[in-house]
Chains A and B, each alone.
Chain A
């Protein structure tokens, strides 16, 4: 009896060994980490990013990739960083321990920045499809990249737009790395362009009640209210703004520019402005086709899935060029990337910021975001 069991175990072990050998021989596995908040108030945006990465992987696997004359297959490892800086470092460490070839993420600036040090120490390239805080790529790390316009560029474009339509400006931010960063930059730029900043108030990224600060702002009689923060706050804020009878222009940054904002604001969203890095989907070289295929597979595009798609594609393209999935070998090729993606050309400056990043201002018309102007 014992012998039978022994033989059985041996047979299984032999089979497993054969399998393992088989896969390394014929197929190279490119393991790419995808980090975003998959639960919590920003999960709809996080899942959107993750779906973009997954769609890129599926497309690559269908097309077939060859790296150094070996057939390769992309495998995506998704992790939930809960939009929380501490969880993000745990996720980053996990990716390093699993020896992934590269990371697409994180979604937020507040998570991308602490995680970037861990990836940099391990030499793993990281492309964020959506972290816009300027400092993310300005830490002197060779491994940090992003495919969206940063907050300096975006804050500046927002200021140009705001000063065109308003003279007296009020600002609220959500005290996060992203919200505060973009609001401060916006404030600095509108001041230098000659507008009057009448108030700068603060809330947090879990708040639901803004009536008190909105009332206080009402007393300062602004023409325009800028909010630096996410849609989960911007939506209810918009609703309360209108209930207070405050008829000012509302301008948000990319965190507010989502279908979720329109849903949470109810009817009050109409007429609101928000910016988004890059160019509108319909002006992207591959925008229409991407939208059709993405919508069929995962539903409505929230925000950054075209960017997470391109980030994944650019990363794998660099591997193909380098003929290796070893981070130290393909990193120089990634830095010199000239991949033509759905969103446009993916090339980086020496910090890892996207070259020639544009910013587009959108407005809610008939319950949908419509592009107004590209700056």
Chain B
């Protein structure tokens, strides 16, 4: 039972990182119908920038959490600028092109960002200095480390703020209007170009935070860390129903828990036929099942093709 709860905690922590990244995919998809494959690499840039800032400031004697705070702030600004640039340069000129064109551009941007990171930070695994006190709190056999708690709170707060913003503010209204029908929204006085830019910028800020979390949690950053993470988060977004904000959160957390449970129990359940090395396979298997029975995802609605 303790182990089950421990796997659940691990899964939820991992899942809340997936959820943050998945939100970036789902926000952009909701508004543009574009799968922004470069999003995973924005996450990677976020981790790299935070790491660079932490290294730069490590001589100043500031405490670990303060270093990360400054790092994540700088990373968020860099990623927001990057997100804006990517949209402006790579996607906006293709707004009216066939849907395949921006998709391929997105893959191109992803490769570009990876190579850029490789040139700046090299190909080696970079180590995050231990910034938070190691060790963990134990509640009836389940241990949770300070950084896990921080990840849970930070991602929860960001998801809550995002939900509130989309549902309750004028900006959120404009975003939803643009998502429903860009031209009509423009007729009603919404600057849809601005809204699309803002969407990218918000998604990138979330990505910067997620990147920092991944780096600090696993203690490692690497130029291709964004690829698999992006793929998983995209899976999470599809699992929850792409385009749906609550869906991305649910899908992310669900995927994290499924993976964790899969790695923990797959061996025992199948009598050793499939070991923990099948943990990724298990996650994608669940995705396929969901898509077979609910093609629009768990919380996705059946919507008509956009005119």
Q: Which residues of A contact B (CB under 8 A)?
A: 39-41, 43-44, 175, 200-204, 208-209, 211-213, 215-216, 218-219, 232, 235-236, 239-240, 242-245, 263-268
The answer to whether A41 touches B277 (Cβ under 8 A) is no
Q: What is the interface of chain B mostly: helix, strand, loop, or mixed? A: helix
What is the size category of the interface that chain B forms with chain A?
Answer: 35 or more
Q: Which residue from chain B places its CB closest to the CB of A267 in the assembled complex?
A: B130
* Closest 9 pairs (CB-CB, A-B): A212-B263, A219-B3, A202-B277, A266-B130, A245-B143, A216-B264, A243-B145, A212-B260, A201-B276
- B125 sits at the interface (CB 8 A): yes
CB distance from A261 to the nearest CB of B (A): 10
CB distance from B277 to the nearest CB of A (A): 4
The answer to whether A216 touches B145 (Cβ under 8 A) is no
Of B2, B145, B264, B275, which is in contact with the most chain A CB atoms at under 10 Å from its CB?
A: B264
- B10 sits at the interface (CB 8 A): yes
The answer to whether A208 touches B123 (Cβ under 8 A) is no
Note all chain B residues with C-beta closer than 8 A to A264: 125, 127, 219-220
The answer to whether B134 touches A243 (Cβ under 8 A) is yes
Contact with A along B124-162 (1 / 0, CB 8 A): 110111100011101000010101100000000000000
Note all chain A residues with C-beta closer than 8 A to B284: none
**How many angstroms between the C-alpha atoms of A203 and B275 in the bound complex?**
9
**How many angstroms between the C-alpha atoms of A131 and B265 in the bound complex?**
34
**How many angstroms between the C-alpha atoms of A266 and B54 in the bound complex?**
15
Q: Which residue from chain A places its CB closest to the CB of B128 in the assembled complex?
A: A266
Choose one: A200, A203, A209, A219; the contact of B218 (CB below 8 Å): A209
Of B10, B275, B276, which is in contact with the most chain A CB atoms at under 10 Å from its CB?
A: B276
Q: Can you list 11 pairs linking A and B with CB atoms under 8 Å apart?
A: A202-B277, A208-B218, A212-B10, A215-B3, A215-B10, A235-B219, A239-B219, A245-B135, A245-B136, A266-B130, A268-B130
With A240-B218, A266-B127 already in contact, the answer to whether A215 and B264 are too (CB < 8 A) is: yes
The answer to whether B218 touches A244 (Cβ under 8 A) is no
The answer to whether B136 touches A243 (Cβ under 8 A) is yes
Note all chain A residues with C-beta closer than 8 A to B127: 235, 263-264, 266
**How many angstroms between the C-alpha atoms of A264 and B218 in the bound complex?**
10
Note all chain B residues with C-beta closer than 8 A to A244: 6, 136, 143, 145
The answer to whether A213 touches B264 (Cβ under 8 A) is yes
Of A200, A215, A244, which is in contact with the most chain B CB atoms at under 10 Å from its CB?
A: A215
- B197 sits at the interface (CB 8 A): no
- B212 sits at the interface (CB 8 A): no
The answer to whether B279 touches A204 (Cβ under 8 A) is no
Note all chain A residues with C-beta closer than 8 A to B136: 243-245
Q: Which residue from chain B places its CB closest to the CB of A39 in the assembled complex?
A: B123
The answer to whether B134 touches A213 (Cβ under 8 A) is no
The answer to whether B135 touches A202 (Cβ under 8 A) is no
Choose one: B138, B260, B267, B279; the contact of A245 (CB below 8 Å): B138
Q: Which residue from chain A places its CB closest to the CB of B263 in the assembled complex?
A: A212
The answer to whether B225 touches A212 (Cβ under 8 A) is no
- B39 sits at the interface (CB 8 A): no
**How many angstroms between the C-alpha atoms of A232 and B219 in the bound complex?**
11
The answer to whether A212 touches B259 (Cβ under 8 A) is yes
**How many angstroms between the C-alpha atoms of A41 and B126 in the bound complex?**
10
With A202-B275, A204-B277, A211-B14 already in contact, the answer to whether A219 and B2 are too (CB < 8 A) is: yes
- B7 sits at the interface (CB 8 A): yes
**How many angstroms between the C-alpha atoms of A242 and B225 in the bound complex?**
23
CB distance from A213 to the nearest CB of B (A): 5
Q: Which residue from chain B places its CB closest to the CB of A201 in the assembled complex?
A: B276
Note all chain A residues with C-beta closer than 8 A to B219: 235-236, 239-240, 264-266
B262-276: which have CB < 8 Å to A? 262-265, 267, 275-276
**How many angstroms between the C-alpha atoms of A317 and B265 in the bound complex?**
56
B185-222: which have CB < 8 Å to A? 218-220, 222
Note all chain B residues with C-beta closer than 8 A to A203: 276-277
**How many angstroms between the C-alpha atoms of A233 and B127 in the bound complex?**
12
The answer to whether A212 touches B264 (Cβ under 8 A) is yes
With A41-B125, A216-B7, A266-B127 already in contact, the answer to whether A236 and B218 are too (CB < 8 A) is: yes
**How many angstroms between the C-alpha atoms of A44 and B122 in the bound complex?**
12
